[in-house]
Amino acid sequence: MQKADIPEVLRLMEAIVVFEGDTDFSLTENDLLKRGFGDRPEFGAIVAQGEKNQLIGIAVHYNIPFMHNHKPSLMLKWLYVDTNHRGKSVGRKLLSGLAQYAMKHGYKKFNWFVLGSNVDAQKFYQSIGANPDNKWIRWTITPDNMVQLFKE
């Protein structure tokens, strides 16, 4: 990802958030510039470019600084391919790019979450050799419950 990609990265980020059913997309180009560049970027993105310099896909990733073994962990936040470019190996190429990034930077693997209802994505991930992690279940606390917990 380069700074010039930011408007298109933002467009694709919003598209996946809408696809996931969320309506609270509030990222801006300035947010991405501040958080994606500099001495300690908070995220990165592998991008797929189509015609006319338009991005057709993104693999947004971030780093968890350390785990139990004192090594960082790479997380895939979003994989998204524009609907009219699906089925053309764009997602596979994006994940290949992320695997190259991971290997170059010393990561042994990367992880991600998938919507339970997104069966097509799950089939795609299985086709590249990925499997669900049956050891862990993601938990979330809602804003109201977090406020209640804070007050205790």
pLDDT value of position 56: 96
Write down the pTM of the prediction.
0.88
Q: Which CATH number goes with the domain that contains 13?
A: 3.40.630.30
pLDDT value of position 15: 95
Range of the domain at 117: 3-151
**Backbone conformation region of residue 17, classed left if phi is above 0, alpha if psi is from -120 to 50, else beta:** alpha
Q: Which residue has the tokens 């010393």?
A: 106
What's the mean per-residue pLDDT of the chain?
Answer: 92
Question: Residue 87 carries which DSSP code?
Answer: T
Count of structural domains, the chain: 1
Query: Which of 56-60, 68-72, 80-84, 142-146 is predicted least confidently?
Result: 68-72
Q: Please spell the DSSP secondary structure of the chain, one letter per residue.
A: --GGGHHHHHHHHHHHHHHTT-------HHHHHHHHSSSS-S-EEEEEE-GGG-EEEEEEEEEES--TTS--EEEEEEEEE-GGGTTSSHHHHHHHHHHHHHHHTT-S-EEE---TT-HHHHHHHHHTT----TT-------HHHHHHHHH-
CA 69 to chain centre: 23
pLDDT value of position 71: 76
* pLDDT tens digits, 6-18: 999 999 999 999 9
Strands 110-112 and 73-81: parallel
CA-to-CA distance for 67 and 1, rounded, in angstroms? 26
Enter the tokens of residue 13.
Answer: 């980020």
Q: pLDDT grade, residue 123 (50/70/90)?
A: very high
Closest CA to 53 of 13, 11, 16: 11
Neighbours of 27 (CB within 10 A): 13
